[in-house]
Amino acid sequence: MIECEDLSKKYNGSFWAVDGVSLRVQPGQILALLGQNGAGKTTTVRMLTALISPTRGWARVAGYDVVRQPQEVRANVGMLTEQHGLYMRMTGEEYLEFFGKVYGLDAETRRKRSQYLLEYFGLTDAARKRCGEYSKGMKQKLALARALIHDPSVLLLDEPTSAMDPESAQLVRNEIARLRSSKRTIIICTHNLAEAEALADEIAIIYRGRILLNGPLDELKRRVLGPVEYEAQFAEPFEVGELRLPEGVEVAFRSATSLRFRVEAPLAVNPQIVQELTSRRAPLVSFQEVSRKLEQVYLKTMAEAQGGAYAA
Amino acid sequence: MRRNWEAIWLVAQREFKDQLRDWRIIVPMALLVLVFPFIADDTTRQAVSFMNRYGGDLILDRLVPFVILIIGFFPLSFTLVVALEAFVGEKERGTIEPLLSSPLEDTQLYLGKLLVGVTTPLVFSYLSMGIYLLLVSRRDVEFPSAYMLALIFLLTLAHAVLMVSAAIVISVQATTIRAANLMASFVVVPVAFLLQGETMLIFWGNEDVLWFAILAVILLSGLLVRLGLAHFKREYLLGREIDTLDFKGMYRLFRNQFVGGARSILEWYRVSVFDAVGKMKQPIFIVIALGAIAVLAAYFWVVAELPSYLSHSPERMEDLQKMVGDNIALLEQFQEHLPAPLLFFYNTRTTIVFLLMGLVSFGTLGLTLFLMNFALIGGVLGIAQLIGFSPVLAFAAGVLPHGLFELTAVILATAGTLKVGALLVSPNTERSVGEVLLIALADWFKVFIGLVVPLLAIAAVIEIYLTPVLIKLAFPFL
């Protein structure tokens, strides 16, 4: 589990790189930390790995306090850093062996874990090649294998699929999803909003060191973009204006062949709308929720934070 | 403990392998290590032939040990780059963060890097020295004794530890490899000077004195390791991409510490100066205790040992007493030759020299100079005893009146210098080395300006105008 309260870091006596961040990530959950470059994502993650000490606030990772028990925190966290950080003259096998020793694994566990990870990430053939000869994607996969070598209960991953081809990225996403199902606590820092949407249970958007939004994606969509939108499409022009829509339905858009509306309580209201359409013999082709992406939530939140208007 | 050593060895072992796989490191090092002994061997041959032609047996005897020492030093100076980039190199290559986010402790990381930094240059140095010894064994020149060789090998080890510990401190604090490499001169040049001093000892012929050099170098290395560990901060290695010199910030920090929030001179003395002195209790006690030991040791040594070097005949004693009497007669002209302001200037300068020497040695050289001065007092009192004067009277009339102020001033300044050194090697991860140094210097200067300077001024006036009168009163027969 990861929990922090009012976590803050001040640099050069005046610049707050992170200012009052409070988060809680349960085992089996993935939190995606989103934000612009320099927003404070890396600083937050570094504080959670006990690499840098907070100026204010507290954090507990895997049950350990980041200030008082930094060694224990580091021993229980797997961290994928912004840069892959590989030793170029070591082979992939040696690299994992080295970090296995650093994390205090016995020889048998080291061998098994290395073998499993190299095989999983498709690096077995390259295991005896020097890291300097690896492609960008291979380097990223090996770095991720390093973060997983000690089978940590907490994972802090900075851009886990950057520089990877689509197949490798999918492989990594699958592994992250598998780790979630085995009750690992995971934070991903990413600019890849589609990936965050696909993986994360919770989203936190950070801007200038402060958390602007934090919560499950559906909730954030409701909070930022308003109630869920539905759209009915008709096979031929239909007089929508004659429909008697139940209370609480807000029409967002209408045309001769479509109707888009927002509704606070779709479970109660949508069956009534469908009934009304059917009774009026509307040539209904489809009735579905309008898909809203994390990207819209992110861009609108950022635009508002920067004092601008969001153009959907 | 075992786990600690395993972790240190793990860090070191990885780096050893890394170096051995990099031909850009190995080839130049190996070439230099192999070529230099041959050049030195040829130089020895020519020097031997020159000495044999013009005589110079003593130099000839000491030539080989001297060349071995030099040969050992060369690989140390050019393999220093390994230590210089120990941390900053990893930072620049982006490999430091995974290492820092691992459960390795600061000490394990630091000592692992230190081990590689020391071992690599040392292997090359010893290899070079060994090759030279092989070459020189074929020549018709006196082969150094096993004792001398052991001393030189130990001295080379001490040099390696000293240079590498300084280089690692630089590597932790520097922001780029380039900056770290530029700082290499600050390591190589002082050790080169040290080497010159040791060379003098070798040619002087008293090799036992080299033990002091070995001990001093090891002490200094220990303090440097302590400094590095005390200020090792993972945060520094991750941040600070570009260093900017914040002169305003430095001035503000120094001024705040110096003034201590006081709004008047009296308040400054009360809240700032005396507070600083209060924090110096421990170093003051150490300095007084060591000073007293130095005075007594020198006094008893002179009284016990000097007679065997001096003729103790009544005629000789008379001569000595007459010489002292003549010198005391000169005291009347003392004020003309050495006016009080000039004496004050000399004493103030000496105090600052204590600080400067202390700054480059964590206070130890400052303390050494202080002890030498105190030993001198003991020595003079011992001589007074030997030539028939009362040492107590000599002390009461010749030292105490101005010494009350001067010795207090010097004790305060030396204790302050010791405190600067102690602060530098004390763990403080909240502040950088530069900040700690500025704060320590501000404390030193407020004691210096607030107390030491006025005390030295009073002492100079007393020493010039009152002490000669008191000496004449105490020893009217002279």
Let me know whether A63 and A140 are in one domain: yes
Alpha helices in B260-280 (DSSP H): 265-267, 274-279
Relative to beta strand A2-11, strand A56-61 is: antiparallel
For residues B302-317, give the mean pLDDT.
Answer: 75
Let me know whether A241 and A184 are in one domain: no
Let me know whether A122 and A87 are in one domain: yes
Let me know whether B145 and B167 are in one domain: yes
CATH number at residue A126: 3.40.50.300
CB A74 within 8 A of CB B103: yes
Q: A-chain residues within 8 Å CB-CB of B95?
A: 85-87
Domain presence at residue A138: yes
Tokens of B60: 């000839």
Size of interface A-B (CB pairs under 8 A): 69
Predicted local distance difference test score (pLDDT) of residue B240: 55
Going by C-alpha positions, the residue among A227, A196, A202 that lies closest to residue A214 is A202
Per-residue confidence band for A33, with pLDDT thresholds at 50, 70 and 90 = very high
DSSP state of B396: I
Domain presence at residue B301: yes
Of A205, A221, A237, at which residue does a domain stop? A221
Domain presence at residue A206: yes
Predicted local distance difference test score (pLDDT) of residue A202: 93
The number of distinct structural domains making up chain A is 2
Domain that includes residue B376, residue range: 248-474
Let me know whether A168 and A81 are in one domain: yes
- Name the strand (E) or helix (H) holding B449: none
- Rg of chain A taking only CA atoms, in angstroms: 24
Predicted local distance difference test score (pLDDT) of residue B120: 86
Let me know whether B195 and B274 are in one domain: no
Of B205, B238, B271, at which residue does a domain stop? B238
Per-residue confidence band for B478, with pLDDT thresholds at 50, 70 and 90 = low
Establish if B7 touches chain A: CB-CB under 8 angstroms: yes
CB A304 within 8 A of CB A213: no
Tokens of A196: 């965050």
Of A164, A188, A221, at which residue does a domain stop? A221
Domain presence at residue A302: no
Give the pLDDT confidence of B38-47 residue by residue, as tens digits. 888 888 888 7
Give the pLDDT confidence of B7-65 residue by residue, as tens digits. 999 999 998 888 888 887 788 888 888 888 888 888 888 877 777 777 666 566 677 88
| CB within 8 Å of B119: residues ≥ 6 apart | B12, B16
Predicted local distance difference test score (pLDDT) of residue A74: 94
Let me know whether A217 and A239 are in one domain: no
Going by C-alpha positions, the residue among B54, A283, B437, A87 that lies closest to residue A97 is A87
Let me know whether B58 and B137 are in one domain: yes
Q: How far apart are CA A84 and CA A135, in angstroms?
A: 12
Let me know whether B59 and B157 are in one domain: yes
Let me know whether B257 and B223 are in one domain: no
For residues A17-35, give the mean pLDDT.
Answer: 93
Helix, strand and coil content of chain B, in percent to the nearest 5, comes to: 85, 0, 15
Let me know whether A159 and A245 are in one domain: no
Judged against a pLDDT cut of 60, whether residue B241 lies above it is answered with no
Let me know whether A188 and A63 are in one domain: yes
Domain presence at residue A23: yes
Total-model pTM: 0.77
- Name the strand (E) or helix (H) holding B148: helix B146-173
Buried b / exposed e along A185-212 (16+ C-beta atoms within 10 A): bbbbbbebbebbbebbbbbbbbbbbbbb
Domain that includes residue A181, residue range: 2-221
Domain presence at residue A297: no
Judged against a pLDDT cut of 80, whether residue B244 lies above it is answered with no
B143 versus B114: which is more confidently predicted?
B114
Mean pLDDT computed over every residue of chain B: 84
Q: Do the Cβ atoms of A11 and B10 come within 8 Å?
A: no
Q: How far apart are CA A128 and CA A134, in angstroms?
A: 11
Q: Do the Cβ atoms of A85 and B98 come within 8 Å?
A: yes
Predicted local distance difference test score (pLDDT) of residue B335: 67
Bridge partners (DSSP) of residue A207 are A210
CB B227 within 8 A of CB B169: yes
CB A44 within 8 A of CB A7: yes
Domain presence at residue A32: yes
CB A30 within 8 A of CB A157: no
Domain presence at residue B80: yes
Predicted local distance difference test score (pLDDT) of residue B311: 63
Q: B-chain residues within 8 Å CB-CB of A89?
A: 17-18, 21-22
Let me know whether B330 and B216 are in one domain: no
Give the pLDDT confidence of B78-134 residue by residue, as tens digits. 778 888 888 888 888 889 899 999 999 988 999 999 999 888 889 989 999 999 999
Interface of A with B (CB under 8 A): 11, 13, 46, 49, 51-53, 71-72, 74-75, 77, 79, 81-90, 98-99, 101-104, 143, 146
Predicted local distance difference test score (pLDDT) of residue B243: 60
Going by C-alpha positions, the residue among B424, B444, B288 that lies closest to residue B367 is B288
Let me know whether B158 and B72 are in one domain: yes
Relative to beta strand A64-65, strand A210-216 is: unpaired
CATH number at residue A264: 3.30.70
Domain presence at residue B243: no
Closest residue in A to B244 (Cα–Cα)? A12
Let me know whether B157 and B292 are in one domain: no
Give the CA angle between residues A264, A267, A272 to the nearest 5°: 95
The minimal CB distance from A89 to the residues B10, B18, B97 is found for B18
Q: How far apart are CA A273 and CA A60, in angstroms?
A: 49
Of B213, B238, B263, at which residue does a domain stop? B238
The number of distinct structural domains making up chain B is 2
Tokens of B352: 């600052």
B118 versus B245: which is more confidently predicted?
B118
Q: How far apart are CA A246 and CA A263, in angstroms?
A: 10
Give the pLDDT confidence of A115-154 residue by residue, as tens digits. 999 999 889 999 999 999 998 888 989 999 999 999 999 9
Domain presence at residue B110: yes
Let me know whether B46 and B131 are in one domain: yes
Closest residue in A to B235 (Cα–Cα)? A52
Establish if B243 touches chain A: CB-CB under 8 angstroms: no
A213 phi, psi to nearest 5 deg: -145, 145
End-to-end CA distance of chain B: 68
In the block, residue with structure tokens 């010791």: B418
Q: How far apart are CA A21 and CA A58, in angstroms?
A: 10
Establish if B103 touches chain A: CB-CB under 8 angstroms: yes
Judged against a pLDDT cut of 90, whether residue A99 lies above it is answered with yes
Tokens of B160: 């390696």
Q: How far apart are CA B449 and CA B351, in angstroms?
A: 12
Tokens of B96: 């430091």
A281 phi, psi to nearest 5 deg: 55, 45
Let me know whether A277 and A204 are in one domain: no
Q: Is the dihedral of CA A85, A90, A93, A97 positive or negative?
A: negative
Domain presence at residue B314: yes
Domain presence at residue A309: no
Per-residue confidence band for B331, with pLDDT thresholds at 50, 70 and 90 = low
Of A221, A253, A271, at which residue does a domain stop? A221
Relative to beta strand A185-189, strand A154-158 is: parallel
Let me know whether A258 and A177 are in one domain: no
Let me know whether B177 and B59 are in one domain: yes
Bridge partners (DSSP) of residue A254 are A259
The minimal CB distance from A75 to the residues B103, B238, B239 is found for B103
Q: How far apart are CA B156 and CA B166, in angstroms?
A: 15
Per-residue confidence band for A229, with pLDDT thresholds at 50, 70 and 90 = confident
Predicted local distance difference test score (pLDDT) of residue B470: 87
Let me know whether B56 and B193 are in one domain: yes
Q: A-chain residues within 8 Å CB-CB of B100?
A: 51
**Which 3-state string (H, E, C) describes chain A?**
CEEEEEEEEEECCCEEEEEEEEEEECCCCEEEEEECCCCCHHHHHHHHCCCCCCCEEEEEECCEECCCCHHHHHHHEEEECCCCCCCCCCEHHHHHHHHHHHCCCCHHHHHHHHHHHHHHCCCHHHCCCEHHHCCHHHHHHHHHHHHHCCCCCEEEEECCCCCCCHHHHHHHHHHHHHHHHCCCEEEEECCCHHHHHHHCCEEEEEECCEEEEEEEHHHHHHHHHCCEEEEEEECCCCCHHHCCCCCCEEEEEECCCEEEEEECCHHHHHHHHHHHHHHCCCCEEEEEECCCCHHHHHHHHHHHHCCCCCCC
CB B273 within 8 A of CB B451: yes
CB A9 within 8 A of CB A47: yes
Tokens of B38: 């041959």
Domain presence at residue B170: yes
Alpha helices in B205-280 (DSSP H): 210-230, 234-238, 247-259, 265-267, 274-279
CB A155 within 8 A of CB A187: yes
Q: B-chain residues within 8 Å CB-CB of A87?
A: 14, 18, 95
Let me know whether B227 and B295 are in one domain: no
Burial class (CB in 10 A: 0-12, 13-18, 19+), B17: middle
Q: How far apart are CA A88 and CA A66, in angstroms?
A: 31
Predicted local distance difference test score (pLDDT) of residue B178: 84
Let me know whether A190 and A236 are in one domain: no
Relative to beta strand A56-61, strand A64-65 is: antiparallel
Let me know whether A18 and A104 are in one domain: yes
Torsion of CA B367, B161, B232, A63, to 10 degrees: -130
Give the pLDDT confidence of B149-191 residue by residue, as tens digits. 898 899 899 989 888 888 888 888 777 888 888 877 778 888 8
Judged against a pLDDT cut of 80, whether residue B347 lies above it is answered with yes
CB A78 within 8 A of CB A100: no
Q: A-chain residues within 8 Å CB-CB of B21?
A: 89
Predicted local distance difference test score (pLDDT) of residue B188: 82
Of B197, B213, B238, at which residue does a domain stop? B238
Let me know whether A104 and A214 are in one domain: yes
This complex has an ipTM of 0.84
Predicted local distance difference test score (pLDDT) of residue B182: 81
Predicted local distance difference test score (pLDDT) of residue A290: 87
Tokens of A98: 């080295």
